[in-house]
Structure 1
């Protein structure tokens, strides 16, 4: 047993020594490779162009090559000077902020313009709303906001003046002073006057006639927005208004923007002259034609008229809601008591 143990011990020692020798060889090879790699990384590398330039530098230069080198040096200096001049010409952020940005159009007016969505307009069109303001108050607000120059200015105002009972002479003078104030800023401004859409608190027809006459006197362009809210029979398109009968809902605001866009392209989509009729029901009544749009009357079921013009709505109050066009008590039903010619 002792001899067996000694043999095993000797074998184990020889095996361990062989492993140590192999590991030492591997470590020495690794250190050598690391040293050579470090030397290679420390030595500067030269590109093919440098080698070719060095080889060509050994060759003596002729007169033509010297002239070429001088011309190339001159071109490099010229390029550098041009770059410096361009850098000097480009404005800084402070200089850019101080410069006035030229916009295309500005629409200014009272609270009727409050529902105009800026996302539906062009990027160079701005809207300035002055809720409850009259003409002279809008003039003062406009003089502060006109720091950025515009090519076109659209004015929708005068409804609050007419509703407050202002005299026609006062309205005429206020409109003239507003146009003069705009022209005083710059004579290149194109001024557009919008006629006022119908409202329940006042009659806007005298105001619109005054606006048209003032526009002709002051050489301003007229945008007839009133006709977009009136049928051919003279009735007002009530479904374009809120409950108060003054301010416009989403459909009414769309009709107003469409009327302005026909004279001055401000909308992001569609052509400026209104090639697509967005409000066919208005056009049909304006042309004195019958209701040919295929819309069915929700009261009697006929297709030759709308529910608003149905004869059944005339039989008593309460059957038809004035502003929303919805039937509250007698929706789709015929009134029991019809008007008779002779009293009972």
Structure 2
């Protein structure tokens, strides 16, 4: 019989926050921000105007987000944190004003399992993160959990199972990336990943964003501007590609792009 996730209390979150080391350079930047802020007056019940910075969506997570170009996104800010684990995102969120965001997309967990964290610890920390987000965000903010794409160094499916269970339990939206990064035979699409097998190429990042866009409209690009996964050209998809199958690159010998797009795939 499956047990329900443990009840979360604010004391658990506070204890997790207090025991969390600051992310490198984060505490310094936050202290500088605090010095530059003017004193704010008014009641805590004052109405929040979400559109004051025109960035109504926040995407926050690890360095897997590093290739995202915010110029391709609508009203979206991206917080990329190299090597970040769940506790690092907690440490960032605790000092960040997130009340203005209509949607917050959290993408974290891969580095935790890669660094040997137990599944129980991952669940406990992620649950504390969700509680913190809900307590600090506007009551109408949509908190969305992004699944962990496949990694070369570790099996991420146990982590994604935890995320699915948490989303079911707390009635949160879950973005499933699994189908995007596997072919019809169940193999990982290598051209979507850099040579380390962890971080996404520019094409992989676009596939990642296209999938998020199915849940939350963040892309400026129309479907006609997407990259074809058969040849790497823009303006059509694999269903209308004249090649009909993945082409081979003469430079790297990989499939799914032409030689002239090789740098785009592996950068």
TM bucket normalised to smaller: 0.5 to 0.7
User: Are 2:108 and 1:157 aligned?
Assistant: yes
Q: 1:322 to 1:207 in 2, by over 3 A?
A: farther
Residues 135 and 157 in structure 1, CA contact (< 8 A), matched pair in contact too: yes
* 1:182–1:189 Cα contact (<8 Å) kept: no
Quote the residue 1:119 is aligned against. Answer: 71
Structure 1 contact 163–202 (Cα < 8 Å) conserved: yes
**Structure 1 residue corresponding to 2:189, chosen from 202, 227, 237:** 237
Tell me, yes or no, if the aligned pair for 1:120 and 1:267 is still in contact at 8 Å. yes
The equivalences for 1:23-172 within 5 A come to: 102=50, 103-122=55-74, 124-147=75-98, 149-172=100-123
* Max Rg structure: 1
One of 156, 163, 182 as aligned partner of 1:211? 163
SS at 2:78 equivalent: strand
Structure 2 residues not aligned, in runs of 5+: 1-37, 231-237, 260-267
Distance 1:206 1:266 in 2: 28
Structure 1 length normalisation: TM-score? 0.52
Contact 1:196 1:225 in 2 (8 A): yes
Offset, 1:278: 4.2
Say yes or no: does 1:198 pair with 2:122.
no
2:233 — aligned with what?
none
Change (3 A) 1:161 1:95: closer
Secondary structure, in 3 states, of the residue corresponding to 2:56? strand
Query: SS at 1:107's partner residue?
Result: strand
Q: Runs (4+) of structure 1 moved beyond 3 Å?
A: 98-101, 275-282, 290-294, 303-308, 320-327
Match for residue 189 of structure 1 among 141, 151, 163: 141
Structure 1 residues 257 and 218, CA gap change in structure 2 (3 angstroms): same
- Contact 1:107-1:154 within 8 A present in 2 as well: yes
- The answer to which structure has the higher helix fraction is 1
Decide which of 212, 219, 225 is 1:260's aligned counterpart: 212
Contact conserved, 2:175 with 2:212, CA < 8 A, in 1? yes
